[in-house]
């Protein structure tokens, strides 16, 4: 069988993760890494190409995996690339998904390409679980917990405070809340009861640490609704103890099928590297997009629309005899 030819657009943590994932997949071949920078040295040695020249690869790539950010990169690049390539992206601004989906669908219907948006773990396989669990147990309640892991948005918010040199923020699910949910008690939980926030901050020399702490814990939206712990550490300690990117989380649904018969379904993930795991999900869905596009499917789709067998390199026969 011919290998699926993959391109990577953007070469940060996510792009490097996709490079690993594609090289781990015997049925895929990495064609090139496309970036806005010239002369980027890739980990695997695959050539990097300036994104300006990407149209030269129009007929050499089956699927382009988009590794830019949701805030500014994807809303522009996604639409642009879908005019010429099948795409996979990890657009994760939940509130803007419907708008982004509609814009992508319009482009793809016109170009005859296929684009899957919002792939990863949340949105992504967490969404798949929420949907599956809810379809099976219609009379129930959903809970999603995140962590323990680094939130880039919250870390950035701390870094913008005067007197802060660097910072890392961990989102931490609260064990007691998880315990109540797992016990099937269907509790009503406030924001504060579900997650706490743990901050490691490097202050500038002579900065007012108490003022920084007060600004963090009272910051609206980001911290004010949570119990927040602030620890001041040195830049060296930050590098030594907080430079990996672990993450994780839990999707739990608890619901009844009849009076007194309750069921609890849970997907939990524990990741050593958030970007490498997200990249592995992107690579699996790139396989599905290549297959669906071959069958003639066009437009925008999400994880909800893909038959799960399309994610696997195995045949239907192999899947039925080994995994069913």
Of residues 183 through 222, those in contact with a second copy by CB under 8 A are 184
Pairwise CA distance, residues 11 & 30, whole Å: 13
244 closest CA partner among 284, 273, 202 = 273
* Using rule CB under 8 A, residue 17 touches a second copy: yes
* Using rule CB under 8 A, residue 303 touches a second copy: yes
Nearer to a second copy, 235 or 272 (CB): 272
Nearer to a second copy, 198 or 271 (CB): 271
User: Of the candidates 284, 286, 289, 290, which one interacts with a second copy according to CB under 8 A?
Assistant: 284
Nearer to a second copy, 84 or 309 (CB): 309
* Using rule CB under 8 A, residue 305 touches a second copy: yes
Nearer to a second copy, 199 or 251 (CB): 251
* Using rule CB under 8 A, residue 309 touches a second copy: yes
Is the peptide bond preceding residue 258 cis, with omega within 30 degrees of 0?
no
Nearer to a second copy, 207 or 311 (CB): 311
* Using rule CB under 8 A, residue 243 touches a second copy: no
Pairwise CA distance, residues 84 & 106, whole Å: 13
Tokens standing for residue 232: 């001041």
Interaction pattern, residues 124-143, with a second copy; x per rule: CB under 8 A:
-x-xxxxxx-xxxxxx----
Residue 79 burial class via C-beta count within 10 angstroms: exposed 0-12, middle 13-18, buried 19 and up: middle
229: Cβ–Cβ under 8 A, 6 or more apart, which residues?
196, 197, 198, 199
144 closest CA partner among 242, 269, 56 = 269
CB atoms under 10 Å from CB of 252, counted, come to 22
Site of tokens 């967490």: 126
Binding site for a second copy (CB under 8 A): 17, 20-21, 24-25, 94, 97-98, 101, 118, 123, 125, 127-132, 134-139, 182, 184, 257-258, 260-273, 276-277, 279-281, 284, 287, 302-309, 311-313, 316-317, 319-321, 323-324
């Amino acid at each position: 069988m011919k290998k699926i030819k993959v391109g990577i657009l953007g070469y940060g943590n996510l792009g490097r993760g996709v490079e690993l994932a594609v090289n781990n997949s015997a049925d895929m071949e990495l064609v090139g890494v496309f970036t806005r920078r010239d002369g980027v040295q890739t980990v695997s040695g695959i050539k990097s190409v300036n994104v300006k020249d990407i149209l030269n690869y129009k007929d050499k790539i089956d699927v382009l995996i988009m590794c830019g950010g949701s805030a500014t990169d994807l809303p522009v690049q996604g639409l642009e690339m879908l005019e010429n390539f099948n795409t996979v992206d990890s657009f994760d601004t939940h509130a803007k998904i419907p708008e982004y989906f509609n814009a992508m669908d319009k482009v793809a219907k016109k170009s005859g390409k296929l684009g899957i948006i919002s792939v990863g773990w949340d949105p992504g396989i967490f969404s798949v679980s929420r949907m599956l669990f809810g379809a099976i147990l219609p009379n129930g309640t959903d809970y999603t917990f995140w962590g323990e892991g680094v939130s880039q948005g919250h870390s950035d918010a701390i870094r913008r405070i005067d007197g802060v040199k660097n910072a890392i923020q961990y989102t931490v699910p609260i064990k007691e809340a998880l315990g109540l949910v797992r016990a099937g008690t269907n509790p009503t939980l406030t924001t504060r009861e579900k997650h706490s926030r743990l901050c490691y901050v490097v202050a500038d020399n002579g900065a007012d640490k108490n003022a920084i702490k007060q600004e963090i814990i009272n910051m609206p939206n980001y911290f004010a609704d949570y119990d927040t712990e602030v620890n001041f550490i040195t830049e060296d300690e930050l590098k030594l103890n907080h430079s990996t990117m672990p993450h994780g989380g839990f999707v739990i649904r608890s619901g009844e099928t009849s009076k007194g018969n309750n069921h609890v379904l849970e997907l939990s993930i524990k990741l050593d590297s958030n970007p490498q795991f997200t990249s592995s999900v992107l690579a699996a869905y790139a396989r599905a997009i290549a297959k669906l596009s071959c069958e003639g499917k066009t437009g925008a789709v999400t994880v909800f629309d893909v038959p799960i067998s399309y994610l696997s390199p195995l045949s239907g026969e192999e899947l039925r005899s080994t995994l069913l």
